[in-house]
Every structure is written in structure tokens, then in C-alpha cells.
């Protein structure tokens, strides 16, 4: 089915890919992002990717709805798998020590696995960022091994430390700020997911590939501050 293009208020448009798999929608969305960045118009302001849609914010003082919808239709018609990727590969150090992983043992027991089995499986997977949301810089990572898929906690925590690596359903997430949260916490990274003093402020963006590198407690505490 062809993608759908809808206005989103008076200064944004949303492109959606209904009735296709998440992975296919993510690939098409990433290609459209690449095409838009390659043919950037001064009237565009920002791109906001989600799981199966892309929001494009624009200035209505520069671009009309007719102009932007026509441009999007042209780019979508010319969609090609050969559009260069703008994503990157990022290594994320993760420590699975007890003080950083309050749910690890319970999650392992619930799946009939050892703690080491969970760590090996989780750290060996290849992840891709599907979207940034919930809080600034929080990445939703697809690629969680099926044997680790776990429903969210029945009672969310009021405070989850920034950097906490967690499992929620079929995804891995990394808490970018100290917030409430209902995912199962199995580790922590010393990296900051969100730095408002930097440009861009988010370490990851939709489409990025994430490789987890297991680190020790000592390596975590010795990790250089950025």
C-alpha cells in the first residue's frame, strides 16, 4: 500500500506506512529521511521519525501544504533502496552489575534462564533505533532476542536513574533522564543519552545501529566523562 500523507496542524505533515511490517516501514522512513536531507528546503525545520511514520515540521510562511505534499510525493515516487543511509553505528557500554540491574535476576528466573544467559543474549544482539521519545534522547531499540521478551512491570518505579538499560515488551530502552518507568532494569551505561548543551543533543537518532559492549563495574566507574 502506498504511504499516506496527512497534514499535522498548520505547520507539519505526517507520512505513514500502514499495513507494512515495522522493519519495512523503518527502512522506507529512513530512505525518505535521507532523501529529504539530500534535498533540504529552507522551509523545512525538523524531521521526527516514529515507528511507522515520519513527521516533517515546516514553516508555513515559506512553504504551502500543496508545495510540501507535492515534494513528498515526488520523493516517495522515486524511492530507491540505493538512497545513502544517514544513520551511524554506535557502541554503547553497558554494565550488568547487581547495583545497576535490580530486575535482572527476576527476569532471568521468569524465563528459566541464568543471569549470565540473559547478559550474553542481550549484549550479543544487534539493535536498531526505531524512534526517540518518551523523554528527550530515550531510544527505543528493536532487535531484542525473542527469549528475552518480557511484559512491562505491573508497578512502575517512581524514579529510574538516567542511563538505565531496560527491557519493555519486545524492545530495549535506555533511560536518558531520571524519570518514572515501568521497564525491567537490567544494566546501566555511563554514556549520556541526552546532553542539551551539545548539538545535536541526543546521542542516538532513528535508524542508528547500536552495538552493546559489556563492561565491568570498574570500567563503568572509570569511564571518562564527556
Q: Is 189 left (phi over 0), alpha (psi -120 to 50) or beta?
A: beta
Give the residue with greater pLDDT, 29 vs 151: 151
Q: What is the dihedral of CA 54, 84, 140, 17, to 10 degrees?
A: 40
For 80-97, the three-class secondary structure string (H helix, E strand, C coil) is: CCCCCCCCCEEEEEEECC
**What would the mean pLDDT of 66-92 be, rounded to a whole number?**
83
pLDDT in tens, 91-108: 999 999 999 999 999 999
Query: Would the pLDDT of 79 be above 80?
Result: no
Could you tell me the pLDDT band of residue 7, with boundaries at 50, 70 and 90? very high
Mean pLDDT score of the chain? 92
pTM over 0.75: yes
**What would the mean pLDDT of 27-44 be, rounded to a whole number?**
87
What are the structural domains, with CATH classification, of the chain? 4-77 (3.30.1360.40), 89-222 (2.40.100.10)
Instruction: Tell me how far apart the alpha carbons of residues 146 and 169 are, in angstroms, rounded to a whole number.
Output: 10
The pLDDT of residue 226 is 64
Identify the burial level of 206 via C-beta atoms within 10 angstroms of its C-beta, where 0-12 means exposed, 13-18 middle and 19 or more buried. Answer: buried
Instruction: Tell me how far apart the alpha carbons of residues 223 and 111 are, in angstroms, rounded to a whole number.
Output: 32
Could you tell me the pLDDT band of residue 165, with boundaries at 50, 70 and 90? very high
Amino acid at each position: 500500500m502506498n504511504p499516506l500523507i496527512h497534514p499535522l496542524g498548520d505547520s507539519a505533515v505526517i507520512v505513514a506506512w500502514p499495513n507494512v511490517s515495522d522493519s519495512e516501514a523503518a527502512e522506507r522512513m529512513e530512505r525518505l529521511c535521507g532523501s529529504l536531507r539530500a534535498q533540504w528546503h529552507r522551509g523545512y525545520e525538523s524531521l521526527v521519525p516514529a515507528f511507522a511514520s515520519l513527521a516533517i515540521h515546516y514553516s508555513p510562511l515559506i512553504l504551502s501544504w500543496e508545495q510540501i505534499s507535492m515534494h513528498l510525493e515526488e520523493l516517495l515516487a522515486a524511492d530507491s533502496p540505493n538512497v545513502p543511509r544517514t544513520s551511524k553505528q554506535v557502541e554503547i557500554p553497558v554494565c550488568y552489575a547487581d547495583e545497576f540491574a535490580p530486575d535482572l535476576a527476576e527476569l532471568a528466573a521468569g524465563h528459566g534462564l541464568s543471569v549470565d544467559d540473559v547478559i550474553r543474549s542481550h549484549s550479543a544482539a544487534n539493535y536498531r533505533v526505531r524512534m526517540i521519545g518518551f523523554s528527550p534522547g530515550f531510544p527505543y531499540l528493536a532487535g531484542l532476542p525473542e527469549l528475552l521478551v518480557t511484559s512491562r512491570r505491573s508497578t512502575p518505579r517512581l524514579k529510574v536513574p538516567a542511563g538505565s538499560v531496560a527491557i519493555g515488551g519486545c524492545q530495549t530502552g535506555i533511560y536518558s533522564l531520571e524519570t518514572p518507568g515501568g521497564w525491567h532494569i537490567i544494566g546501566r551505561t555511563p554514556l549520556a543519552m541526552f546532553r542539551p548543551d551539545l548539538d545535536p543533543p541526543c546521542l542516538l537518532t532513528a535508524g542508528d545501529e547500536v552495538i552493546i559492549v559489556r563492561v565491568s563495574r570498574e570500567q563503568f566507574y572509570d569511564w571518562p566523562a564527556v
